[in-house]
Structure 1
Amino acid sequence: MSWLQVVVLAVVQGLTEFLPVSSSAHLAIVSEAFFGGDAGASFTAVVQIGTEIAVLIYFAGDIGRILTAWFGGLTDAGRRTPDYWLGWWVILGTIPIGIFGFTLQHLIRGDIRNLWIIATALIVFSFVIAAAEYFGKQTRDIRQFTWRDSLIIGSAQALALIPGVSRSGVTISAGLFLGQKREAAARFGFLLAIPAVLGSGLYELRHVFEPGASGMSATVPQIVVGTLIAFVVGYAAVAWFLRFLVRHSMYWFVGYRIALGALVLLLLATGVLAAQ
Protein backbone atom coordinates (compact mmCIF):
# COMPACT_ATOMS: atom_id res chain seq x y z
CA MET A 1 0.00 0.00 0.00
CA SER A 2 1.17 3.53 -0.73
CA TRP A 3 1.18 6.24 1.95
CA LEU A 4 -1.40 8.21 -0.04
CA GLN A 5 -3.73 5.20 0.00
CA VAL A 6 -3.25 4.74 3.74
CA VAL A 7 -4.06 8.38 4.50
CA VAL A 8 -7.08 8.54 2.18
CA LEU A 9 -8.56 5.27 3.45
CA ALA A 10 -7.98 6.24 7.09
CA VAL A 11 -9.89 9.49 6.56
CA VAL A 12 -12.69 7.60 4.76
CA GLN A 13 -12.82 5.11 7.64
CA GLY A 14 -13.07 7.86 10.24
CA LEU A 15 -15.78 9.72 8.34
CA THR A 16 -17.98 6.74 7.55
CA GLU A 17 -17.59 4.27 10.45
CA PHE A 18 -20.41 5.77 12.52
CA LEU A 19 -22.67 6.90 9.70
CA PRO A 20 -25.26 4.43 8.32
CA VAL A 21 -23.44 4.25 4.98
CA SER A 22 -20.99 1.33 5.59
CA SER A 23 -17.35 2.19 6.10
CA SER A 24 -16.21 -1.19 4.73
CA ALA A 25 -18.14 -0.52 1.51
CA HIS A 26 -16.56 2.91 1.14
CA LEU A 27 -13.08 1.55 1.75
CA ALA A 28 -13.57 -1.15 -0.90
CA ILE A 29 -15.06 1.29 -3.44
CA VAL A 30 -12.44 4.01 -2.90
CA SER A 31 -9.61 1.45 -2.99
CA GLU A 32 -10.77 0.00 -6.31
CA ALA A 33 -11.76 3.31 -7.93
CA PHE A 34 -8.66 5.33 -7.05
CA PHE A 35 -5.95 2.80 -6.23
CA GLY A 36 -6.77 -0.14 -8.48
CA GLY A 37 -7.15 -2.77 -5.78
CA ASP A 38 -8.92 -3.69 -2.54
CA ALA A 39 -7.10 -2.77 0.64
CA GLY A 40 -8.50 -5.97 2.14
CA ALA A 41 -10.63 -6.97 5.10
CA SER A 42 -7.62 -7.20 7.41
CA PHE A 43 -6.54 -3.59 6.83
CA THR A 44 -10.15 -2.49 7.27
CA ALA A 45 -10.53 -4.37 10.55
CA VAL A 46 -7.27 -3.06 12.02
CA VAL A 47 -7.83 0.60 11.10
CA GLN A 48 -11.30 0.34 12.66
CA ILE A 49 -9.50 0.05 15.99
CA GLY A 50 -8.78 3.78 15.69
CA THR A 51 -12.45 4.65 15.38
CA GLU A 52 -13.37 2.33 18.25
CA ILE A 53 -10.78 4.04 20.48
CA ALA A 54 -12.61 7.26 19.60
CA VAL A 55 -15.84 5.63 20.84
CA LEU A 56 -14.10 4.49 24.03
CA ILE A 57 -13.00 8.05 24.78
CA TYR A 58 -16.26 9.69 23.71
CA PHE A 59 -18.34 7.30 25.84
CA ALA A 60 -15.76 7.02 28.63
CA GLY A 61 -18.24 8.29 31.22
CA ASP A 62 -20.95 5.86 30.14
CA ILE A 63 -18.51 2.94 29.92
CA GLY A 64 -17.04 3.69 33.35
CA ARG A 65 -20.51 3.87 34.89
CA ILE A 66 -21.60 0.61 33.23
CA LEU A 67 -18.44 -1.25 34.29
CA THR A 68 -18.73 -0.01 37.87
CA ALA A 69 -22.37 -1.06 38.06
CA TRP A 70 -21.67 -4.42 36.39
CA PHE A 71 -18.80 -5.45 38.68
CA GLY A 72 -20.70 -4.16 41.73
CA GLY A 73 -23.86 -6.00 40.77
CA LEU A 74 -22.07 -9.33 40.38
CA THR A 75 -21.71 -9.67 44.15
CA ASP A 76 -24.43 -7.32 45.42
CA ALA A 77 -27.99 -7.74 44.13
CA GLY A 78 -28.89 -4.36 45.60
CA ARG A 79 -26.53 -2.64 43.12
CA ARG A 80 -28.11 -4.16 40.03
CA THR A 81 -29.16 -0.93 38.39
CA PRO A 82 -30.17 -0.44 34.72
CA ASP A 83 -26.46 0.17 34.00
CA TYR A 84 -25.64 -3.26 35.47
CA TRP A 85 -28.09 -4.92 33.10
CA LEU A 86 -26.89 -2.78 30.20
CA GLY A 87 -23.44 -4.30 30.75
CA TRP A 88 -24.94 -7.77 30.40
CA TRP A 89 -26.90 -6.71 27.30
CA VAL A 90 -23.68 -5.57 25.61
CA ILE A 91 -22.02 -8.91 26.42
CA LEU A 92 -25.05 -10.89 25.26
CA GLY A 93 -25.44 -8.84 22.08
CA THR A 94 -21.80 -9.42 21.11
CA ILE A 95 -22.18 -13.21 20.94
CA PRO A 96 -23.91 -13.47 17.50
CA ILE A 97 -21.29 -11.46 15.59
CA GLY A 98 -18.52 -13.30 17.41
CA ILE A 99 -19.89 -16.66 16.26
CA PHE A 100 -20.56 -15.61 12.68
CA GLY A 101 -17.36 -13.58 12.38
CA PHE A 102 -15.18 -16.50 13.47
CA THR A 103 -16.92 -19.24 11.50
CA LEU A 104 -17.24 -17.21 8.28
CA GLN A 105 -13.87 -15.43 8.43
CA HIS A 106 -12.58 -16.85 5.12
CA LEU A 107 -15.72 -15.72 3.31
CA ILE A 108 -15.55 -12.28 4.95
CA ARG A 109 -11.92 -11.80 3.92
CA GLY A 110 -12.51 -13.07 0.38
CA ASP A 111 -15.54 -13.64 -1.88
CA ILE A 112 -17.96 -11.38 -0.05
CA ARG A 113 -15.76 -8.34 -0.75
CA ASN A 114 -17.20 -8.14 -4.25
CA LEU A 115 -18.41 -4.76 -5.50
CA TRP A 116 -21.55 -6.32 -7.02
CA ILE A 117 -22.48 -7.58 -3.56
CA ILE A 118 -21.45 -4.33 -1.87
CA ALA A 119 -23.45 -2.10 -4.24
CA THR A 120 -26.50 -4.34 -3.94
CA ALA A 121 -26.28 -4.33 -0.13
CA LEU A 122 -26.05 -0.52 -0.13
CA ILE A 123 -29.30 -0.26 -2.06
CA VAL A 124 -31.27 -3.09 -0.42
CA PHE A 125 -30.52 -2.07 3.16
CA SER A 126 -31.39 1.53 2.34
CA PHE A 127 -35.02 0.41 2.26
CA VAL A 128 -34.58 -1.33 5.63
CA ILE A 129 -33.34 1.93 7.14
CA ALA A 130 -36.22 3.86 5.56
CA ALA A 131 -38.76 1.34 6.86
CA ALA A 132 -37.29 1.54 10.36
CA GLU A 133 -37.63 5.32 10.33
CA TYR A 134 -41.20 5.10 9.06
CA PHE A 135 -42.52 2.38 11.37
CA GLY A 136 -40.40 2.99 14.50
CA LYS A 137 -42.40 4.50 17.38
CA GLN A 138 -39.29 5.86 19.15
CA THR A 139 -40.68 5.80 22.69
CA ARG A 140 -38.14 3.69 24.59
CA ASP A 141 -34.99 4.98 26.29
CA ILE A 142 -31.74 3.04 26.67
CA ARG A 143 -32.52 2.24 30.32
CA GLN A 144 -35.61 0.34 29.19
CA PHE A 145 -33.69 -2.14 27.05
CA THR A 146 -34.01 -5.87 27.76
CA TRP A 147 -32.18 -9.09 26.90
CA ARG A 148 -34.56 -9.47 23.96
CA ASP A 149 -33.43 -6.12 22.53
CA SER A 150 -29.83 -7.19 23.00
CA LEU A 151 -30.18 -10.47 21.12
CA ILE A 152 -32.17 -8.94 18.26
CA ILE A 153 -29.83 -5.98 17.80
CA GLY A 154 -26.78 -8.20 18.28
CA SER A 155 -28.06 -10.59 15.61
CA ALA A 156 -28.71 -7.62 13.31
CA GLN A 157 -25.15 -6.42 13.91
CA ALA A 158 -23.88 -9.72 12.47
CA LEU A 159 -25.36 -8.65 9.11
CA ALA A 160 -22.78 -5.85 9.06
CA LEU A 161 -20.17 -8.50 8.25
CA ILE A 162 -21.47 -8.00 4.70
CA PRO A 163 -19.81 -4.85 3.30
CA GLY A 164 -22.48 -2.37 2.30
CA VAL A 165 -24.91 -3.17 5.11
CA SER A 166 -23.48 -0.73 7.74
CA ARG A 167 -23.07 -1.63 11.38
CA SER A 168 -24.63 1.59 12.68
CA GLY A 169 -27.35 1.50 10.04
CA VAL A 170 -28.50 -2.04 10.84
CA THR A 171 -28.25 -1.72 14.64
CA ILE A 172 -30.07 1.62 14.74
CA SER A 173 -32.72 0.24 12.38
CA ALA A 174 -33.22 -2.82 14.59
CA GLY A 175 -33.58 -0.53 17.59
CA LEU A 176 -36.14 1.64 15.82
CA PHE A 177 -38.20 -1.43 14.89
CA LEU A 178 -38.16 -2.29 18.62
CA GLY A 179 -39.57 1.14 19.47
CA GLN A 180 -36.33 2.67 20.74
CA LYS A 181 -35.53 6.34 20.42
CA ARG A 182 -33.11 7.04 17.59
CA GLU A 183 -30.28 8.42 19.73
CA ALA A 184 -30.70 5.64 22.31
CA ALA A 185 -30.50 3.00 19.58
CA ALA A 186 -27.37 4.67 18.21
CA ARG A 187 -25.68 4.79 21.62
CA PHE A 188 -26.39 1.13 22.29
CA GLY A 189 -25.20 0.20 18.80
CA PHE A 190 -21.91 2.04 19.36
CA LEU A 191 -21.41 0.36 22.75
CA LEU A 192 -22.22 -3.01 21.19
CA ALA A 193 -19.64 -2.45 18.45
CA ILE A 194 -16.73 -1.87 20.84
CA PRO A 195 -15.93 -5.50 21.79
CA ALA A 196 -16.77 -6.77 18.29
CA VAL A 197 -14.58 -4.31 16.40
CA LEU A 198 -11.67 -4.35 18.85
CA GLY A 199 -11.71 -8.14 18.88
CA SER A 200 -11.85 -8.33 15.09
CA GLY A 201 -9.08 -5.76 14.67
CA LEU A 202 -6.71 -7.50 17.07
CA TYR A 203 -7.43 -10.89 15.49
CA GLU A 204 -6.84 -9.59 11.94
CA LEU A 205 -3.63 -7.75 12.92
CA ARG A 206 -1.60 -10.84 12.07
CA HIS A 207 -2.95 -10.89 8.50
CA VAL A 208 -2.53 -7.25 7.57
CA PHE A 209 1.25 -7.49 7.11
CA GLU A 210 1.14 -10.64 4.98
CA PRO A 211 1.99 -9.92 1.31
CA GLY A 212 0.10 -13.06 0.27
CA ALA A 213 -3.05 -12.26 2.22
CA SER A 214 -6.28 -11.07 0.66
CA GLY A 215 -5.88 -7.40 -0.18
CA MET A 216 -2.76 -5.25 -0.11
CA SER A 217 -0.14 -5.47 2.62
CA ALA A 218 0.81 -2.54 4.86
CA THR A 219 3.85 -1.69 6.99
CA VAL A 220 3.78 -1.14 10.74
CA PRO A 221 4.22 2.68 10.41
CA GLN A 222 1.39 2.79 7.86
CA ILE A 223 -0.96 0.88 10.16
CA VAL A 224 -0.07 3.12 13.12
CA VAL A 225 -0.56 6.35 11.16
CA GLY A 226 -3.76 5.07 9.56
CA THR A 227 -5.19 4.10 12.94
CA LEU A 228 -4.32 7.51 14.42
CA ILE A 229 -5.95 9.36 11.54
CA ALA A 230 -9.06 7.20 11.80
CA PHE A 231 -9.20 7.95 15.53
CA VAL A 232 -9.07 11.75 15.13
CA VAL A 233 -11.56 11.90 12.26
CA GLY A 234 -13.77 9.26 13.89
CA TYR A 235 -14.02 11.17 17.17
CA ALA A 236 -15.28 14.26 15.35
CA ALA A 237 -17.68 12.12 13.29
CA VAL A 238 -19.31 10.33 16.24
CA ALA A 239 -19.82 13.61 18.12
CA TRP A 240 -21.46 15.17 15.07
CA PHE A 241 -23.60 12.13 14.25
CA LEU A 242 -25.17 11.84 17.72
CA ARG A 243 -26.08 15.54 17.67
CA PHE A 244 -27.47 15.09 14.16
CA LEU A 245 -29.73 12.20 15.20
CA VAL A 246 -31.41 14.30 17.89
CA ARG A 247 -32.95 16.60 15.26
CA HIS A 248 -32.82 14.65 12.01
CA SER A 249 -33.87 11.25 10.68
CA MET A 250 -31.76 8.72 8.78
CA TYR A 251 -33.69 9.42 5.58
CA TRP A 252 -30.84 11.79 4.73
CA PHE A 253 -28.53 8.81 4.29
CA VAL A 254 -31.00 6.61 2.41
CA GLY A 255 -30.83 8.66 -0.77
CA TYR A 256 -27.05 8.80 -0.61
CA ARG A 257 -26.77 5.01 -0.22
CA ILE A 258 -29.09 4.34 -3.17
CA ALA A 259 -27.26 6.83 -5.39
CA LEU A 260 -23.83 5.42 -4.50
CA GLY A 261 -24.97 1.82 -4.98
CA ALA A 262 -26.54 2.63 -8.35
CA LEU A 263 -23.39 4.47 -9.47
CA VAL A 264 -21.17 1.52 -8.54
CA LEU A 265 -23.47 -0.91 -10.37
CA LEU A 266 -23.31 1.31 -13.45
CA LEU A 267 -19.50 1.52 -13.32
CA LEU A 268 -19.29 -2.26 -12.90
CA ALA A 269 -21.68 -2.90 -15.80
CA THR A 270 -19.67 -0.62 -18.11
CA GLY A 271 -16.34 -2.11 -17.06
CA VAL A 272 -14.99 1.05 -15.45
CA LEU A 273 -14.63 -0.76 -12.11
CA ALA A 274 -13.53 -4.32 -11.48
CA ALA A 275 -15.79 -6.31 -9.15
CA GLN A 276 -12.93 -7.66 -7.04
Structure 2
Amino acid sequence: MDWLQTLLIALIQGLTEFLPVSSQAHLVLYSWVTGGVYQGLDFDIILHAGSLVAVVAYFRRELLAMARSWFGSLVGGQPDADSRLAWWIIIGTLPAVVFGFLLKDVAEEQLRAVWVMATSLVVFGLLLGWADWRGRRDRDEHQLGLRGVLVIGFAQVLALIPGTSRSGITITAALFMGLTREAASRFSFLLSIPVITGAAVLGLRDLSSTELTTPWGLLLLGFAASALSTYACIHFFLAFIKRIGMQPFVIYRIVLGGLLLAYLWW
Protein backbone atom coordinates (compact mmCIF):
# COMPACT_ATOMS: atom_id res chain seq x y z
CA MET A 1 0.00 0.00 0.00
CA ASP A 2 0.98 3.62 -0.47
CA TRP A 3 -0.06 6.50 1.77
CA LEU A 4 -3.19 7.29 -0.28
CA GLN A 5 -4.48 3.71 -0.12
CA THR A 6 -3.70 3.66 3.59
CA LEU A 7 -5.67 6.85 4.13
CA LEU A 8 -8.67 5.68 2.10
CA ILE A 9 -8.92 2.31 3.85
CA ALA A 10 -8.54 3.92 7.27
CA LEU A 11 -11.27 6.45 6.47
CA ILE A 12 -13.59 3.67 5.29
CA GLN A 13 -12.97 1.82 8.53
CA GLY A 14 -13.45 4.90 10.69
CA LEU A 15 -16.57 6.19 8.94
CA THR A 16 -18.37 2.84 8.76
CA GLU A 17 -17.35 1.03 11.97
CA PHE A 18 -20.11 2.62 14.05
CA LEU A 19 -22.66 3.37 11.36
CA PRO A 20 -25.26 0.61 10.86
CA VAL A 21 -23.95 -0.18 7.36
CA SER A 22 -21.24 -2.88 7.81
CA SER A 23 -17.63 -1.73 7.62
CA GLN A 24 -16.63 -5.16 6.34
CA ALA A 25 -18.90 -4.88 3.30
CA HIS A 26 -17.38 -1.50 2.45
CA LEU A 27 -13.83 -2.82 2.72
CA VAL A 28 -14.75 -5.69 0.40
CA LEU A 29 -16.35 -3.24 -2.04
CA TYR A 30 -13.23 -1.09 -1.94
CA SER A 31 -11.04 -4.08 -2.76
CA TRP A 32 -13.28 -4.91 -5.72
CA VAL A 33 -13.23 -1.38 -7.10
CA THR A 34 -9.49 -0.88 -6.68
CA GLY A 35 -8.31 -4.43 -7.17
CA GLY A 36 -6.69 -4.25 -3.75
CA VAL A 37 -5.69 -7.23 -1.64
CA TYR A 38 -5.80 -8.07 2.05
CA GLN A 39 -3.85 -5.42 3.93
CA GLY A 40 -2.41 -7.70 6.60
CA LEU A 41 -3.24 -8.50 10.21
CA ASP A 42 -1.07 -5.70 11.57
CA PHE A 43 -2.92 -3.05 9.54
CA ASP A 44 -6.31 -4.52 10.47
CA ILE A 45 -5.42 -4.39 14.17
CA ILE A 46 -4.15 -0.82 14.00
CA LEU A 47 -7.33 0.38 12.28
CA HIS A 48 -9.52 -1.19 14.95
CA ALA A 49 -7.22 0.21 17.63
CA GLY A 50 -7.86 3.66 16.19
CA SER A 51 -11.62 3.12 16.35
CA LEU A 52 -11.30 1.82 19.91
CA VAL A 53 -9.33 4.86 21.05
CA ALA A 54 -11.92 7.13 19.44
CA VAL A 55 -14.96 5.56 21.12
CA VAL A 56 -13.21 5.47 24.50
CA ALA A 57 -12.21 9.12 24.12
CA TYR A 58 -15.72 10.15 23.09
CA PHE A 59 -17.41 8.39 26.02
CA ARG A 60 -14.60 9.01 28.52
CA ARG A 61 -16.85 10.77 31.05
CA GLU A 62 -19.49 8.06 30.93
CA LEU A 63 -16.86 5.34 31.20
CA LEU A 64 -15.18 7.00 34.19
CA ALA A 65 -18.52 7.39 35.96
CA MET A 66 -19.41 3.77 35.25
CA ALA A 67 -16.01 2.53 36.45
CA ARG A 68 -16.16 4.51 39.69
CA SER A 69 -19.68 3.36 40.48
CA TRP A 70 -19.01 -0.24 39.50
CA PHE A 71 -15.88 -0.59 41.62
CA GLY A 72 -17.61 1.26 44.44
CA SER A 73 -20.52 -1.17 44.36
CA LEU A 74 -18.08 -4.08 44.64
CA VAL A 75 -16.66 -2.77 47.92
CA GLY A 76 -19.96 -2.06 49.60
CA GLY A 77 -21.12 1.11 47.92
CA GLN A 78 -24.72 1.67 46.93
CA PRO A 79 -25.45 0.51 43.36
CA ASP A 80 -26.70 3.28 41.09
CA ALA A 81 -27.59 3.80 37.45
CA ASP A 82 -23.95 3.99 36.35
CA SER A 83 -22.89 0.79 38.10
CA ARG A 84 -25.95 -0.99 36.72
CA LEU A 85 -25.07 0.19 33.20
CA ALA A 86 -21.54 -1.15 33.68
CA TRP A 87 -22.99 -4.54 34.62
CA TRP A 88 -25.25 -4.41 31.55
CA ILE A 89 -22.21 -3.83 29.31
CA ILE A 90 -20.44 -6.81 30.90
CA ILE A 91 -23.47 -9.10 30.67
CA GLY A 92 -24.32 -7.93 27.15
CA THR A 93 -20.81 -8.82 25.99
CA LEU A 94 -20.86 -12.42 27.26
CA PRO A 95 -22.91 -13.94 24.37
CA ALA A 96 -20.50 -12.46 21.81
CA VAL A 97 -17.52 -13.85 23.76
CA VAL A 98 -18.96 -17.36 24.05
CA PHE A 99 -20.39 -17.69 20.55
CA GLY A 100 -17.52 -15.79 18.98
CA PHE A 101 -15.13 -18.36 20.44
CA LEU A 102 -17.29 -21.28 19.30
CA LEU A 103 -18.27 -20.02 15.85
CA LYS A 104 -15.36 -17.83 14.76
CA ASP A 105 -13.88 -20.43 12.41
CA VAL A 106 -17.28 -21.28 10.93
CA ALA A 107 -18.01 -17.62 10.25
CA GLU A 108 -14.63 -17.01 8.65
CA GLU A 109 -14.54 -20.17 6.54
CA GLN A 110 -18.15 -20.79 5.53
CA LEU A 111 -19.90 -17.40 5.62
CA ARG A 112 -17.44 -15.30 3.65
CA ALA A 113 -19.33 -15.62 0.38
CA VAL A 114 -20.26 -12.26 -1.11
CA TRP A 115 -23.88 -13.35 -1.60
CA VAL A 116 -24.11 -13.91 2.17
CA MET A 117 -22.77 -10.42 2.80
CA ALA A 118 -25.12 -8.84 0.27
CA THR A 119 -28.14 -10.72 1.59
CA SER A 120 -27.29 -9.72 5.16
CA LEU A 121 -27.07 -6.08 4.15
CA VAL A 122 -30.59 -6.20 2.74
CA VAL A 123 -32.29 -8.46 5.32
CA PHE A 124 -30.86 -6.83 8.42
CA GLY A 125 -31.33 -3.42 6.84
CA LEU A 126 -35.05 -4.10 6.50
CA LEU A 127 -35.10 -5.33 10.09
CA LEU A 128 -33.46 -2.07 11.20
CA GLY A 129 -36.12 -0.11 9.32
CA TRP A 130 -38.89 -2.10 10.96
CA ALA A 131 -37.39 -1.58 14.42
CA ASP A 132 -37.06 2.16 13.80
CA TRP A 133 -40.67 2.32 12.64
CA ARG A 134 -42.24 0.09 15.30
CA GLY A 135 -40.05 0.80 18.34
CA ARG A 136 -41.58 2.67 21.29
CA ARG A 137 -38.49 4.91 21.69
CA ASP A 138 -39.36 6.13 25.18
CA ARG A 139 -36.43 4.86 27.31
CA ASP A 140 -32.71 5.52 27.65
CA GLU A 141 -29.88 3.05 28.24
CA HIS A 142 -30.10 3.42 32.03
CA GLN A 143 -33.64 2.06 31.94
CA LEU A 144 -32.70 -1.23 30.32
CA GLY A 145 -33.55 -4.38 32.25
CA LEU A 146 -31.83 -7.76 32.20
CA ARG A 147 -34.18 -9.08 29.49
CA GLY A 148 -33.38 -6.18 27.17
CA VAL A 149 -29.64 -6.52 27.76
CA LEU A 150 -29.73 -10.23 26.94
CA VAL A 151 -31.75 -9.62 23.77
CA ILE A 152 -29.21 -7.03 22.61
CA GLY A 153 -26.28 -9.21 23.67
CA PHE A 154 -27.51 -12.25 21.76
CA ALA A 155 -28.37 -10.05 18.77
CA GLN A 156 -24.73 -8.98 18.71
CA VAL A 157 -23.79 -12.61 17.99
CA LEU A 158 -25.44 -12.22 14.57
CA ALA A 159 -22.64 -9.80 13.67
CA LEU A 160 -20.54 -12.91 13.02
CA ILE A 161 -22.44 -13.07 9.73
CA PRO A 162 -20.59 -10.79 7.26
CA GLY A 163 -22.66 -7.80 6.17
CA THR A 164 -24.82 -7.77 9.31
CA SER A 165 -23.04 -4.83 11.00
CA ARG A 166 -22.39 -5.13 14.73
CA SER A 167 -23.66 -1.63 15.41
CA GLY A 168 -26.61 -2.16 13.08
CA ILE A 169 -27.90 -5.32 14.74
CA THR A 170 -27.41 -4.04 18.30
CA ILE A 171 -29.13 -0.74 17.51
CA THR A 172 -31.96 -2.74 15.92
CA ALA A 173 -32.39 -4.88 19.03
CA ALA A 174 -32.18 -1.85 21.32
CA LEU A 175 -34.89 -0.08 19.33
CA PHE A 176 -37.12 -3.14 19.68
CA MET A 177 -36.48 -2.94 23.44
CA GLY A 178 -37.96 0.57 23.48
CA LEU A 179 -34.81 2.69 23.58
CA THR A 180 -34.69 6.02 21.80
CA ARG A 181 -32.51 6.23 18.72
CA GLU A 182 -29.82 8.13 20.62
CA ALA A 183 -29.89 5.74 23.60
CA ALA A 184 -29.83 2.68 21.33
CA SER A 185 -26.81 4.08 19.52
CA ARG A 186 -24.98 5.04 22.72
CA PHE A 187 -25.52 1.59 24.23
CA SER A 188 -24.37 -0.05 21.00
CA PHE A 189 -21.21 2.05 20.96
CA LEU A 190 -20.44 1.34 24.62
CA LEU A 191 -21.05 -2.36 23.99
CA SER A 192 -18.47 -2.27 21.20
CA ILE A 193 -15.61 -1.38 23.55
CA PRO A 194 -15.04 -4.81 25.15
CA VAL A 195 -15.72 -6.56 21.81
CA ILE A 196 -13.17 -4.51 19.87
CA THR A 197 -10.69 -4.78 22.75
CA GLY A 198 -11.03 -8.56 22.84
CA ALA A 199 -10.63 -8.85 19.06
CA ALA A 200 -7.52 -6.66 19.18
CA VAL A 201 -5.98 -8.77 21.96
CA LEU A 202 -6.60 -11.96 19.98
CA GLY A 203 -5.18 -10.32 16.88
CA LEU A 204 -2.05 -9.27 18.76
CA ARG A 205 -1.64 -12.85 19.96
CA ASP A 206 -1.75 -14.10 16.38
CA LEU A 207 0.50 -11.26 15.24
CA SER A 208 3.16 -12.18 17.81
CA SER A 209 4.12 -15.23 15.73
CA THR A 210 4.42 -13.32 12.43
CA GLU A 211 6.33 -10.36 11.08
CA LEU A 212 4.89 -6.92 10.38
CA THR A 213 3.86 -6.53 6.75
CA THR A 214 3.09 -2.80 6.83
CA PRO A 215 5.71 -0.04 7.34
CA TRP A 216 5.48 1.83 10.64
CA GLY A 217 4.75 5.11 8.91
CA LEU A 218 1.66 3.70 7.21
CA LEU A 219 0.54 2.05 10.44
CA LEU A 220 0.70 5.38 12.25
CA LEU A 221 -1.16 7.13 9.43
CA GLY A 222 -3.84 4.43 9.44
CA PHE A 223 -4.23 4.66 13.21
CA ALA A 224 -4.58 8.45 13.19
CA ALA A 225 -7.01 8.52 10.25
CA SER A 226 -9.13 5.73 11.73
CA ALA A 227 -9.26 7.37 15.17
CA LEU A 228 -10.13 10.85 13.91
CA SER A 229 -12.73 9.71 11.40
CA THR A 230 -14.34 7.36 13.94
CA TYR A 231 -14.58 10.15 16.51
CA ALA A 232 -16.15 12.52 13.97
CA CYS A 233 -18.54 9.81 12.81
CA ILE A 234 -19.78 9.09 16.34
CA HIS A 235 -20.22 12.80 17.07
CA PHE A 236 -22.23 13.62 13.95
CA PHE A 237 -24.22 10.39 14.01
CA LEU A 238 -25.43 11.03 17.57
CA ALA A 239 -26.02 14.71 16.82
CA PHE A 240 -28.29 14.09 13.85
CA ILE A 241 -29.81 10.67 14.50
CA LYS A 242 -32.87 12.02 16.31
CA ARG A 243 -33.76 14.16 13.31
CA ILE A 244 -32.82 11.89 10.40
CA GLY A 245 -33.79 8.55 11.89
CA MET A 246 -32.53 5.21 10.59
CA GLN A 247 -34.30 5.15 7.24
CA PRO A 248 -31.43 6.69 5.20
CA PHE A 249 -29.17 3.88 6.43
CA VAL A 250 -31.85 1.31 5.62
CA ILE A 251 -32.11 2.60 2.05
CA TYR A 252 -28.33 2.72 1.73
CA ARG A 253 -27.97 -0.90 2.91
CA ILE A 254 -30.61 -2.12 0.47
CA VAL A 255 -29.00 -0.29 -2.44
CA LEU A 256 -25.50 -1.52 -1.55
CA GLY A 257 -26.68 -5.10 -1.06
CA GLY A 258 -28.57 -4.93 -4.33
CA LEU A 259 -25.48 -3.67 -6.16
CA LEU A 260 -23.38 -6.50 -4.74
CA LEU A 261 -25.98 -9.08 -5.79
CA ALA A 262 -26.23 -7.48 -9.25
CA TYR A 263 -22.45 -7.65 -9.57
CA LEU A 264 -22.50 -11.37 -8.79
CA TRP A 265 -25.35 -11.98 -11.21
CA TRP A 266 -23.66 -9.96 -13.94
Normalising by structure 1, we get a TM-score of 0.88
Look up the SS of the partner of 2:130 in the other structure: helix
1:148-186 C-alpha deviation (Å, 9 max, x unpaired) = 222111111121122211111111110111111111111
Q: How many residues align?
A: 266
Could you tell me which runs of 5 or more consecutive residues in structure 1 were left unpaired when the two chains were aligned.
271-276
Q: Does 1:268 align with 2:260?
A: no
Distance in 2 of aligned mates of 1:257 and 1:144: 30
Q: How does 1:1-276 map to 2 (within 5 A)?
A: 1-39=1-39, 43-44=43-44, 46-77=46-77, 79-207=78-206, 218-270=214-266
Query: What does the per-residue CA deviation read over 1:207-236, in whole Å, with 9 as the maximum and x for residues that have no partner?
Result: 469889xxx954444333212210011111
Alpha carbons of structure 1 residues 240 and 100: separation in structure 2 relative to 1, 3 Å? same
Alpha carbons of 1:41 and 1:173: their partners in 2 closer, same or farther (altered >3 Å)?
farther
Q: Secondary structure at the match of 1:137?
A: coil
126 and 40 in structure 1: CA distance in 2 versus 1, 3 angstrom threshold? farther
Q: Counterpart amino acid of 1:96?
A: P
- Structure 1 letter corresponding to 2:158: L
Give the Cα–Cα distance (whole angstroms) in 2 for the partners of residues 184 and 92 of structure 1. 18
Q: Which moved more, 1:52-61 or 1:151-160?
A: 151-160
> Conserved in 2, the CA contact under 8 Å of 1:208 and 1:218?
no
Q: Which deviates further from its counterpart, 224-233 or 41-50?
A: 41-50
Distance 1:218 1:16, change over 3 A: same
Supply the AA of the counterpart residue of 2:6. V
SS at match of 1:104: helix
Q: Is the 8 A contact 2:20 2:166 kept in 1?
A: yes
Q: CA RMSD in A?
A: 2.3
The AA in structure 1 aligned to 2:116 is I
Tell me if structure 2 keeps the 8 A contact 1:42–1:207: no
- Whichever residue aligns with residue 156 of structure 2, its letter is Q
1:162–1:209 distance in 2 versus 1, CA, 3 Å: farther
Letter in 2 for 1:12: I
Output the CA distance in 2 between the equivalents of 1:5 and 1:163.
Answer: 23
Identity of aligned residues (%): 41
SS at match of 1:157: helix
Preserved contact between residue 158 and residue 169 of structure 2 (Cα < 8 Å): yes
Query: Aligned AA for 2:159?
Result: A
Shift of 1:36: 3.8
Q: 1:4 to 1:223 in 2, by over 3 A?
A: same
Counterpart code for 1:88: W
Q: Which deviates further from its counterpart, 252-261 or 143-152? A: 143-152
- Report which of the two has the higher share of helix: 2
Secondary structure at the counterpart of residue 191 of structure 1: helix
- Displacement, 1:140? 1.1
Cα distance in 1 for partners of 2:256, 2:96 equals 26
Distance 1:142 1:157, change over 3 A: same
- Asked if 1 retains the 8 angstrom alpha-carbon contact of 2:43 and 2:222, the reply is no
Instruction: Write out per-residue CA displacement over residues 103-152 of structure 1, whole angstroms, 9 at most, x where no aligned residue.
Output: 22223444423222111111111111011011101011222112222211
Q: How far apart are residue 33 of structure 1 and its match?
A: 2.4
C-alpha separation in 1, matches of 2:182 and 2:226? 23
